[in-house]
Amino acid sequence: MTKQHEQLHRDETVLRSMGMTELRSIYEDMGLTQEELAILTRPRRIVTATFPVTLKNGRIRMFLGHRVLYNDARGPAKGGIRFHPDLTVEDVSELAFLMALKCAVVNIPFGGSKGGVKVNPAELDSHELEQVTRAYIRAVADDIGPYKDIPAPDVYTDERTMAWILDEYERIMRRHQPAVVTGKPPALGGIEARRYSTALGGVHVLEEAMKERGLTPKGARAAVQGFGNVGENMARLLHERGCRVVAVSDVNGGTANPSGLDIEALRRHKAGSGTVAGFSGGKRISNEELLAVDCEILVPAALSNQLHAGNAKEVKASIVLELANGPTTVDADDMFYARDIMVVPDILANAGGVVVSYFEWVQNLSNDFWPEEKVLKRLHRTMTTAFSDVHARCRGGKCRLRKAAYELGVRRILDAERLRGNL
């Protein structure tokens, strides 16, 4: 288990209070009834299972796994599976709630779910991890499925894990069911563009946000915190659009160049050294300095709670695009709003991944493989429509976009519940 994944999980658990804090703050404004609140604050189904796995030393160990279906009024539930030693059912549940909101905000016909196994992946080899994954799927097989609940990768699970999930589920069902899981390798029905779709979806939303601020990517300056799957792709995509990426960072520190970093050279540097720190085309900076760099766009794409009351006043950007989950604390959010800094919230900004997962599911169900242009075109349309829906709800940007996004998600979920006769 890498330190990074440990941190990611720990910080994301704080999100649960963030999600519920936001819900508490909007429920009075929206005039939600007790019945509506009861639907929003309780998951529909929690499955907890213990299952034995034989380890390579011949001993049998019991593992604990959960799968929480939070809400499926809008369609089958969608949410990742994470492996983590500190996993609790409460964390899983609240992350499932955020998935329900995210899918509703981008208006894809999915509910929200999440799952995971309490395990430290660093203690197991690949064969043991495969056995844990397969045993977990056997334990929850009745509760997942293409029309029930569709898993995906999350902290410390990846394409390879999804391939094991697919294989185990299909063995149990004795038929092919590629739509049971997304984020699969392309050779098993996955989509190549899923690998960069979170960043690309973020770019589409950012371009709309920039228009509102009279900015264009060409010539604008951006700083990106985190240079992993999301941050590296974001820096590349911004650079390709003529944006000057003036600073990036990772867990080891950052690099800055006011004239713009050469992103291709930086990617080569990272491929060789494992970090962006020490890049010869920039000046070494700390992560705190990155957040305060002179720029128009700040993209937190690493961990939660990076922007807080202690550093929010140093931020120079006029737009903060939350590609990480929960990078802004409630205090910092208020400070940004007071300073007229536009925060594009995580449940909108980083939804490109789940949107392309939806396309993967559609393709698998129909056995019709879309050309890449179609995937990219529909991603663009879905993300820009979501931005405009949220922005319109915000009375043309006169409230916090986060509040508007939560309200929109909540409203759509409750409308579906009402139409089903549950309210």
Catalytic residues: 114
Q: Could you say whether residue 416 binds ligand NAD (CB under 6 A)?
A: no
Q: Could you say whether residue 100 binds ligand NAD (CB under 6 A)?
A: no
Instruction: Indicate if the alpha-carbon torsion angle 225, 228, 232, 233 is positive or negative.
Output: negative
Among 198, 318, 329, 357, contact with ligand NAD (rule: CB under 6 A): 198
Q: Could you say whether residue 200 binds ligand NAD (CB under 6 A)?
A: no
Q: Which long-range contacts (CB under 8 A, 24 or more apart) does 51-57 make?
A: 51/135, 51/136, 51/138, 51/139, 52/135, 53/128, 53/131, 53/132, 53/135, 54/131, 55/124, 55/128, 56/125, 56/127, 56/128
Among 139, 181, 222, 324, contact with ligand NAD (rule: CB under 6 A): 324
Among 87, 165, 302, 315, contact with ligand NAD (rule: CB under 6 A): 302
Q: Could you say whether residue 133 binds ligand NAD (CB under 6 A)?
A: no
Rounded (5°) CA angle 394-201-396: 15
Directed axis angle between helix 89-105 and helix 3-30, to 10°? 60
Question: Which of 254, 258, 285 is CA-nearest to residue 269?
Answer: 254
Secondary structure (H, E, C), 310-357? CCHHHCCCCEEECCCCCCECHHHHHHHHHCCCEEECHHHHCCHHHHHH
Q: Which is nearer to ligand NAD, 5 or 138 (CB)?
A: 5
> How far apart are the C-alpha atoms of 98 and 288, rounded to whole Å?
28
> How far, rounded to the nearest angstrom, does the alpha carbon of residue 215 sit from its chain's CA centroid?
26
Q: Could you say whether residue 298 binds ligand NAD (CB under 6 A)?
A: no
Q: Could you say whether residue 301 binds ligand NAD (CB under 6 A)?
A: yes
Q: Could you say whether residue 303 binds ligand NAD (CB under 6 A)?
A: yes
Q: Could you say whether residue 161 binds ligand NAD (CB under 6 A)?
A: no
Strand-pair category, 77-83 with 283-285: unpaired
Question: DSSP letter string over 279-310?
Answer: -TTSEEE-HHHHHTSS-SEEEE-S-SS-B-TT
> How far apart are the C-alpha atoms of 92 and 69, rounded to whole Å?
10
> Left if phi > 0, otherwise alpha if psi is -120 to 50, otherwise beta: which for 107?
left
Among 229, 257, 311, 385, contact with ligand NAD (rule: CB under 6 A): 229
Q: Could you say whether residue 357 binds ligand NAD (CB under 6 A)?
A: no
- Whether the Cβ atoms of residue 317 and residue 296 lie closer than 8 Å to each other: yes
Among 71, 182, 287, 329, contact with ligand NAD (rule: CB under 6 A): 287
- Whether the Cβ atoms of residue 71 and residue 111 lie closer than 8 Å to each other: yes
CA distances from 386 to 359, 392, 413 (A): 16, 10, 15
Q: Which is nearer to ligand NAD, 7 or 177 (CB)?
A: 7
Size of the site for ligand NAD (CB under 6 A): 23
Q: Which is nearer to ligand NAD, 39 or 237 (CB)?
A: 237
- Provide the minimum distance between the beta carbon of 217 and ligand NAD in the complex, in angstroms, as a whole number: 21
Q: Which is nearer to ligand NAD, 206 or 416 (CB)?
A: 206
Q: Could you say whether residue 227 binds ligand NAD (CB under 6 A)?
A: yes
- Provide the minimum distance between the beta carbon of 54 and ligand NAD in the complex, in angstroms, as a whole number: 30
Q: Could you say whether residue 250 binds ligand NAD (CB under 6 A)?
A: yes
Q: Could you say whether residue 328 binds ligand NAD (CB under 6 A)?
A: no
- Provide the minimum distance between the beta carbon of 226 and ligand NAD in the complex, in angstroms, as a whole number: 3
Q: Could you say whether residue 255 binds ligand NAD (CB under 6 A)?
A: no
Among 323, 347, 408, 413, contact with ligand NAD (rule: CB under 6 A): 323
Sheet of 149-153, strands arranged across: 45-54, 60-71, 111-118, 77-83, 149-153
Report the b/e string of 367-393 with b at 16+ CB within 10 A: eeebeeeebbebbbebbeebbebbbeb
Q: Beta partners for 334? A: none
Q: Could you say whether residue 117 binds ligand NAD (CB under 6 A)?
A: no
- Provide the minimum distance between the beta carbon of 421 and ligand NAD in the complex, in angstroms, as a whole number: 33
Q: Could you say whether residue 238 binds ligand NAD (CB under 6 A)?
A: no
Q: Could you say whether residue 382 binds ligand NAD (CB under 6 A)?
A: no
- Provide the minimum distance between the beta carbon of 294 and ligand NAD in the complex, in angstroms, as a whole number: 19
Q: Could you say whether residue 249 binds ligand NAD (CB under 6 A)?
A: yes
Q: Which is nearer to ligand NAD, 131 or 328 (CB)?
A: 328
Q: Could you say whether residue 13 binds ligand NAD (CB under 6 A)?
A: no
Q: Which stretch binds ligand NAD (CB under 6 A): 26-34, 70-78, 222-230, 378-386?
A: 222-230
Residues in touch with ligand NAD (CB under 6 A): 4, 7-8, 198, 225-231, 249-251, 287, 301-303, 323-325, 350, 353
